[in-house]
Structures are given as C-alpha cells and as structure tokens.
Structure 1
Amino acid sequence: MDAIIKRRREEIENTPLDQPLPSDLLTSIITANTPRDINYNKIDDKEVMRPMNDHEIRVIIFDGIIAGTDTTANTISFIVYYLAHHPDVKRKMLTEIDRIFQDDKTRPITENDVHNLKYCEAIVKEVSRIFSVVHVFSRCLEKPDEIGGYQWPAETMIKISVDAIHHNEEYWDEPEKFNPDRWMVEDKKSPLRTESGVITACNELLVEIKLRN
C-alpha cells in the first residue's frame, strides 16, 4: 500500500496543474486540501486543513476496504438467505427492478436508478436491522456526563448494543419478523449499521450502491 501511495504521489507531482488527473479514490484523498482539490478555492483559507500524510491515507484506504467488502459480503449473504425464504419479497423486488430498467438489464445503473429502487433499499435496511454486521458501538467520554440516570467520569468507555435497539419492541412492530415494508414510510430512519463518522459514512454509501447494483 505504501508503494502504491508513493507512486501515485509522484504521478500527481509530475502532472502539470492544467492537466486532468485520474478520477479515483486514492487521487482524491491525496489531493484533498491542495490546489488540486476541486473544492480548494471554495474554502476560506483560514479553514483549509492540511493535506493528509501517507499514514493517514493508508488508514482511510484500509478502512474503506474493510467497511466496503467484509460488511458488504456478510450483508449480501443475509439478503440472499431472506430472499430465498420469502419468495413474495423476491417477487416485489424483481417487479421494481423490471419497472426501473424496463427489461434492459445490460445498461449501466445510474444515480437516479439507485434513488428510485426504494423497495431494494427497504430490503437492505431490514436485513441490516435483523442481522447487524456491527453488534456493538463504543464511545469514550471526553468529559464527565450523565447517562441513564448515572454519573460517569471522563474516559469511561460506553458500549451500545445495536442488536438490543434493533430488536426492541418499543421501537419496532414485531421486531423478529422480516418485513421490508416497514421501511416504505418516509419518516423511517436507517438502522444502525456502522459506527458514525465522516469516513464510515462514505463507506456506508459505497455499500448501499453495491448492494443495490
């Protein structure tokens, strides 16, 4: 990975500013907060963050690989399992796909297609609710705080059970039942799948696109 990052840096440095660069994730990360960044001139100079070093880039790339492959593979496996056991759900999914693609399965999927596949999205969310690929979230308190009626000192590690939330009858009707239709409501929020953060949010979007492709 270090060699790949170094080689791409050299390619970028040897490319004139008026020449386009490859459109890929690594190039975007390396050029972030530099004159090569497409958003560089849109940010006040006082707020421009420094470019990332090789170690930080390596961490982001590995995080993307882990969050975008392992979690996706597990979620897809669970989706296949539930579609096999719920033919009615599978039929509705295929009907939606046929409606969006008009029987042309060979054309490239577009951004509009992704947003219009509402029932496919509902299946992804319902599977993620029942079988969370991340079971526990961890948060460390930066300062003393009150949680659940108890006082907790700074640097306390708080563990949040995702499964307990996703299977709580206070929040879900028949939580043990596989029912994608529960997500066909505009005000429904997404299930907890990955720990929050800018990096993870980007990875989660990649997972959504892959699962609906």
Structure 2
Amino acid sequence: MLLGSKPRVSLYTVVTTGLGRMKEVDTGKAYRLFYPSVPAVLSASHRKTVSAMPVVSFTALSESPSLVGVSSLPSHSTHKTVIAARRFSLCWLDKKDIRAMAHLASHAGKEGEDKLLSAGLKHHRGKRVDVPVIDAAVAVLECSLTKTIRFGDHELLVGRVKASYAIEDFRDYWSFEVYRPILYTGWRGDLATLD
C-alpha cells in the first residue's frame, strides 16, 4: 500500500483487535457469548412441590411498573410450577453456596419434592408474595406472573416485582465488599467465582 492511499476494505475481512483475530461464531451458539453470567435461582411452589433452577437468561424489562423477564424452556418442571403458581422468586446466592447452585443445575425436580431443601438450601415464604425465598440469598425479587410470551423454543416469563431486597453490600449498585457472585460459564462449562 502506498503512503497516503486508502486501504481496501472487504465486508468479509477477519477483524483484528488488540487481543488478536476474531473468528466467526455459529449463530446457533451466539448466546454463549453472554457467558460468564451471574445466575439467579428461579423458585416457585405449587401444592406440595417446591421447584427451583438456576437461570441466566433474565433481565429487567421495565422500571415503572417494575417488570422482569425470565427465559425458560416450557418443558422444565420449574417452568411448569411457575405457570401453575402464577408467581415466582429470583434469589441470588454468594459463592459459599456454589455447591447448592450446582446441585440445582444438575438435578431434575420431582412432583412433591422440595428441590431447594434437597440442595441444602433452607427457605421461608416471601414478605409480600407466597413464594419460596432462600434463607442464604444475598438479593431477592418476589414476583407475580403477569404473562408469558413464546420466543422460539423458550418462553418468557414476565413478572411484576412486588418486593425486592438485598444485603447491605447493595447500595444502589453492588459494592462487592461482602458479596462474591457465582459465575455460570456455559452449559458445557461449570460454575466459577472471581476469587
């Protein structure tokens, strides 16, 4: 290239960044770029069943009214329990509970089972909504289910936040002085922490 001339640009050129060359990622695996993520435990109870599973596909949908969305496979037992109960909780756990989180991720729930207790997680009823709340949680959302929306093979559970609370380490944002989050590194990966 001559000094002062413009480089030729192709739409198909592999981009080089300060960290090296970038490669194409199969669009069917693009969701994996979101990892690592901090999981929350989605819980609900109906009749004698307490269902729970870690989720990472969740987001705040609206500030006013306060709405959250959780993406889940309709075939999951926890998803079915949320639909039947019409309410759910989201609880965040500290790294000290990483084994319990791994148990929730690797064991399917059964009718009549308390999956939280089977993972070693004691719980109580919510402050404003009749949902399971994990005793060791560092943060909690109690939600009523307002609607479900189908997106491909998943369904978005839309919840209206009726109560939210967290340990003192949360001061409008997390300070991470006390709370050490668990990280989910992907389905074929594992759970990790920053320490």
Query: Smaller-chain TM-score range?
Result: under 0.3
Question: TM (normalized to structure 1)?
Answer: 0.21
Larger-gyration structure (1/2):
1
Higher helix share: 1
Normalized per residue, which structure has more strand? 2
TM-score (norm 2): 0.22
